Amino acid sequence: MSCSIPSSTYTPPPLARPVSPAARAHYQAQLDEKTKPLGALGGLETLALRLACLIGGEQPELQDPQVMVFAADHGLAAEGVSAFPQSVTHQMLLNFLSGGAAINVFARQHQLALTLVDAGVIGDLPEHPQLRQHKLGQGTRSSLHQAAMTEADCITAIKTGQQLVSATPGNLLILGEMGIGNTSAASLIISRLLGLPIKQCIGRGTGLDDPGLARKQQVLTQVLTRHAEVSDPLGVLATFGGFEIAMMTGALLQAASEGRVLLMDGVIASSALLVAEQLQPGIKDWAIFSHRSAEPGHALLLEALGAEPLLDLGLRLGEGTGAALAYPLLVSALAMLNQMASLTEAGVSGPAGKIECTP
């Protein structure tokens, strides 16, 4: 059984105000007046301009940056699509809660507030100040046999993601995830929504060997064939996705409606953005892509969205780690815009040799 959901079932929040041409021209003029040749800081200037336009104000600044890591299990993991057992999801959540995961390290290093969300992890988790309990079930169903989620659970997950963001401060959001089998779910979403062969969209995930990769490709091909009629974004999300991907979709929609910068992580978080973009065209304009994942489907998704990531380090961990690593670049870009002297202030000659100030 598949799940096709009419667009009238869910109405996404409207996007925040568009960037005005006057604001863009104002910030570009500021950048051009800095004590450097035009464009000498390359992509950092492009990044500063984007951030300034999204945040606004005379001194655009990042405030209370947030990392939300959504975790859930996937029924599809039982079909042998991952190199790790499904129990690792629960084990890694305990590691997050004890502060020992990579995202904990990077969040502490860069003073990023970290929230963990149990969207549907198998097994109970202890109470913890960083943990939000929103379990929608003991993992999703296997999409090889039926839709991963019901229509009601999919909509509930999206709205839960919205509510979590609405109750959280800040003007920048990083989304991370944890869930054995979720690269398969993301690959299925990307394949169906972009109309790409599944073979082009899948990688080794947690480290599959060649026979494991062949098995993954076979299973995912069967999943797509079983649900060949599903094409609407909500139906695709419910049929192929996971509780954590659906909650991330809602979180992204809410954040963009509030004018927050979306600092995107890898393939799984980006698959949620792809769903959000089809539900609310233009949300991608609020997204800055931190890195290009080693998962093949991510490069194809970035190309489809016309996005150029900041880093390319062969990352494939998830958790929001790529976005956390890219975060200092955003800090530097705005520091340059706000603190670097202008030619006039410094008494430095412009490109034509003219002194830009009166001593």
**Active site (catalytic) residues:** 319
The two beta strands, 287-289 and 261-264, are parallel
Amino acid, single-letter form, for residue 137: G
Nearest to 169 by CA among 65, 254, 250: 65
Alpha helices in the chain (DSSP H): 21-32, 43-55, 87-98, 102-109, 151-166, 182-194, 198-201, 210-226, 233-240, 243-257, 267-279, 296-305, 321-339, 343-346
- Identify the three-state secondary structure at position 117: strand
Cα–Cα separations (whole angstroms), residue 284 to 5, 86, 252, 269, 271? 22, 32, 10, 13, 12
Angle between helices 267-279 and 296-305 in degrees, nearest 10: 30
How far apart (Å, rounded) are the C-alpha atoms in residues 182 and 300? 17
Do residues 50 and 317 make contact, with C-beta atoms less than 8 angstroms apart? Answer: no
Do residues 85 and 180 make contact, with C-beta atoms less than 8 angstroms apart? Answer: yes
63-64-70 Cα angle (round to 5): 130
Q: Within 13 Å, how many C-alpha atoms sit on residue 249's CB side?
A: 31
Length of the chain (residues)? 359
Amino acid, single-letter form, for residue 181: G
- Identify the three-state secondary structure at position 302: helix
Do residues 246 and 158 make contact, with C-beta atoms less than 8 angstroms apart? Answer: yes
Amino acid, single-letter form, for residue 326: A
- In the block, tokens 């655009």 appear at 60
